[in-house]
Amino acid sequence: MCKVLSPGKTNKMDLLDKCRSFNRHIEVQEAGVYPYFRPISSSMGTEVVVEGRKMLMIGSNNYLGLVGDQRVKEAAANATMKYGSGCTGSRFLNGTLDIHIELEERLAAFFKKEKAQVFSTGFQANLGVISCLVGKNDLIFTDRSDHASIVDGCRLSFGKTVKFKHNDMDDLERVLSNNNHDAGKLIAVDGVFSMEGDIAKLPEIVRLAKKYGARILVDDAHSVGVLGIHGRGTTEHFELEDETDMVMATFSKSFASIGGVIAAKTEVIDFIRHFSRPLIFSASIPPASVAACLTALKIIETEPERRERLWKISDRMRKEFKSMGFDIGSTETPIIPLIIGEDIRTFKFWKELADAGIYTNAAIQPAVPPDRCLIRTSYMATHTDEQMDRVLETFQTTGKKFGVI
């Protein structure tokens, strides 16, 4: 006989119990060192206004400094006046504008691929590509430091995910050889890793992909506009554009907008367009975002001096931080992490910088290993030498105070 429990008297776990028991953020807030969800009330330039106070921004992905560029802002405003504020539907149905097509054609040419497909966000691009291409009998090989969008794309797919040690090509070959059965294989890696700042070893990845019959997806979110003579990212940096099957990029970094894109052969894009659920069932990016991206793309193509300036700044900062004694890991790019250690110490270090007017990002687990919590800094082509002098002086003082250097 079934036992009936009266309301409120059940032994079952409440779905929301996990929410009530989560209080770590409250502890950090009460300690006055909570670094997240800080409202900015100005344009995202080299300086920003936070709670009425001006701060020097070294925590943005605005690598070429185009978010505040007058040409980009005017293009976005003009597109809004012409097309309205949104598309009210998905690309699959009523949400395709002529400028969406123009952007995809321009991006395909830029990446030297046959065709490109724009998604509503970069996260959705990885989610939509991996989940629709990797089937139940397929394998996907991922770097342990890959972005969360690749991780979640793997979770949504019906294939088997096999991880390899970060940027360890011996380990990649090990997992490939151990899973070398008759199955479709995809190697998915970040071009530039968003926390570490190092570059994927694409030449070795290409060699191993050919040896074991795998395809390659490169997430170039932090590479486009930054790496390569023309800013085309990791594949151009290594001169492997013809050897990489799919290139993904986001518009929220160098393109000064929002959205994402995948570029590949025509048959691959056509398949994605008709089977990718995140594409088919999401509203398309608004006209302002498309126009901003188109204008930023033109600037990337015609103003290489921005990239040159960005690298001059980044090279200097890496050299100076190293000479001070900071552990900056294996970074090779404008993303420069400063490894502090455990999370509370990292939060306190972040707060000291914030009090000195320096805006950075504190990264803790799961974004990084628990004993490798860090202050993530990143630089823009529009930063001045004087601003970098101030950053270095502040970090040296703070690093000594906390015994990091």
Enumerate the active-site residues: 194, 222, 253
Amino acid at 343: D
Residues 6+ apart with CB under 8 A from 304: 229, 230, 231
SS3 content of the chain, % helix, strand, coil (to 5): 40, 15, 40
- The whole-angstrom separation of Cα 201 and Cα 373 is 24
Long-range contacts of 42-48 (CB under 8 A, 24+ apart): 43/67, 43/68, 44/68, 45/382, 46/380, 46/382, 46/383, 46/384, 46/387, 48/359
CA-based torsion, 25, 26, 30, 36: positive or negative? positive
**For residue 384, how many C-alpha atoms fall within 13 Å in the half-sphere facing its CB?**
7
Q: Which residues contact 184 (CB under 8 A, 6 or more apart)?
A: 134, 135, 137, 138, 139, 159, 215
Q: What is the C-alpha to C-alpha distance for residues 66 and 60, in angstroms, rounded to an integer? A: 12
CA distances for 215 relative to 138, 154, 180, 207, 311, angstroms: 11, 15, 13, 11, 31
Q: H helices then E strands: how many in the chain? A: 15, 13
Q: Residue 19: count other Cβ atoms within 10 Å of its Cβ.
A: 8
User: Which neighbouring-strand residues pair with 186?
Assistant: 140, 215
Strand partners, 249: 261
Give the separation between CA 295 and CA 246, rounded to whole angstroms.
24
Q: Judging by beta carbons within 10 Å of its beta carbon (0-12, 13-18, 19+), is residue 15 exposed, middle or buried?
A: exposed
The backbone region for 10, taken as left when phi is positive above 0, alpha when psi lies in -120 to 50, beta otherwise, is beta
Check: CB of residue 351 under 8 Å from CB of residue 276.
Answer: no
Burial class (CB in 10 A: 0-12, 13-18, 19+), 2: exposed
How far apart CA 347 and CA 315 sit, in angstroms, is 26
